[in-house]
Amino acid sequence: MINAWAIQRDPDIWSCAEEFIPEKFMGTKFDFKGLDFKYLPFGAGRRMCPGISFDSAVVELNLANLLYWFDWQMPGSADEKGPDMTGTFGILGARELPLQLVAVPHFNQM
């Protein structure tokens, strides 16, 4: 039996292993064969999660629907210059402040 809980919290594999940071999977290619310990909770071989590849397609479809059905605006007054793009120092190049947008329906509802 494999201890997936311990592998997911191994500091040799993950920095900040005890924190919930789903962004750590962004920009990575999934190895659906189960040969990579990072994705072991999804299973491996014949017993792997049947929805792991379906999930990737569903996320892209939902994002496409959000972009199609809504116009995205900055909150607050219209005279703002735009989002604050001040970055933090580090490898990832993250922004200091999170991006906040307001979803405005693009099409009239029937």
**Residues 95, 87 contacting (CB under 8 angstroms):** yes
Indicate left, alpha or beta for 15 from its phi (over 0: left) and psi (-120 to 50: alpha).
beta
Is residue 49 a known part of a binding site?
yes
Provide the annotated binding site for heme: 49
Provide the annotated binding site: 49
